[in-house]
């Protein structure tokens, strides 16, 4: 019994074009700081051109690949959840610079073109939902954040500088108020001027130490005069003695 062999077609190697696309997508995912996924069904050619232009100005590169090739490219990367977003016509916005600017450009374009639908994205190794992309788009631009930061730093410094400038002025006001208050309520009474004549009279009226001693110590002549009675005083004393009654 003869056996028949069935020749099975050999597995065809991937076409070089597809291999190149898969390699490109893998490299773009690896090098990009962020990737935004969108659905572009319903957009016209002119609208797609406008979208690419606005994304380029924001620092993004808008590319359209087949979902099967994108799945093959990300299968070797440690990114979970991306394959779930690859449903329907999908375009990728690769971000090399400011992810906030690209997210804002997509959001603004979608407001005027409802056919553009945000699916989600990847920021670093984190999977973003469509709401996450919108939240990212609401972040103010870098220049605004820097201006706010500079303003927040400058405001306390300006207040501090104002306080320093006000210190001398407030001190002067305080001293003036203190002087005015002291002059009105607690000013010391001015001493009356003493006339030179009054001083001279007072000096002449004040006895010197020698004069005081002379007044207290009698001279010898004065002492003798006090001890020797005058004749009239002696006669008077005798009369008084004769007239006095005899003692019993």
Report pLDDT digits (tens) over 66-101. Answer: 999 999 998 878 778 888 899 999 999 999 888 999
Q: What is the pLDDT of residues 237-248, one digit of tens each?
A: 444 444 444 443
- Confidence check: pLDDT of 115 > 80: yes
**Confidence band for 23, pLDDT divided at 50, 70 and 90:** very high
More confident residue, 230 or 48: 48
Of the chain, the end-to-end C-alpha distance in Å amounts to: 210
The pLDDT of residue 228 is above 90: no
CB-neighbour burial class of residue 74 (10 A; exposed 0-12, middle 13-18, buried 19+): buried
**Is 173 a residue whose pLDDT tops 70?**
no
- pTM for the whole thing? 0.55
More confident position, 227 or 112 = 112
The model's pLDDT over 35-47, given as tens digits with 9 standing for 90+, comes to 999 999 999 999 9
Fold of 16-142: Alpha-Beta Plaits (3.30.70)
Minimal CA–CA distance to 56: which of 107, 102, 1?
Answer: 102
Segments making up each domain of the chain, as ranges:
16-142
Q: How far apart are CA 192 and CA 189, in angstroms?
A: 9
Q: Is the pLDDT of residue 195 over 70?
A: no
- What are the C-alpha distances in Å from 233 to residues 164, 165, 240, 241? 99, 99, 11, 12
């Amino acid at each position: 019994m003869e056996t028949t062999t069935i020749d099975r077609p050999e597995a065809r190697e991937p076409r070089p074009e597809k291999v190149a696309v898969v390699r490109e997508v893998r490299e773009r995912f690896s090098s990009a700081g962020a990737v935004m996924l969108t659905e572009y069904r319903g957009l016209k050619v002119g609208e797609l051109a406008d979208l690419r232009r606005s994304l380029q100005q924001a620092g993004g590169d808008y590319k359209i690949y087949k979902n099967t090739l994108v799945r093959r490219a990300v299968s070797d990367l440690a990114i979970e959840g991306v394959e779930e977003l690859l449903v329907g016509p999908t375009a990728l916005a690769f971000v090399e610079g400011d992810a906030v600017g690209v997210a804002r450009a997509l959001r603004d374009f979608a407001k005027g073109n409802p056919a553009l639908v945000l699916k989600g994205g990847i920021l670093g190794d984190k999977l973003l939902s469509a709401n996450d992309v919108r939240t990212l788009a609401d972040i103010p631009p870098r220049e605004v954040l820097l201006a706010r930061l500079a303003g927040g730093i400058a405001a306390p410094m300006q207040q501090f500088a104002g306080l320093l400038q006000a210190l001398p002025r407030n001190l002067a006001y305080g001293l003036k108020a203190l002087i005015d208050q002291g002059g009105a309520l607690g000013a010391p009474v001015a001493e009356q001027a003493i006339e030179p004549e009054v001083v001279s009279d007072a000096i002449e009226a004040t006895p010197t130490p020698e004069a005081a001693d002379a007044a207290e110590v009698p001279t010898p002549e004065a002492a003798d005069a006090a001890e020797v009675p005058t004749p009239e005083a002696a006669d008077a004393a005798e009369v008084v003695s004769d007239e006095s009654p005899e003692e019993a």
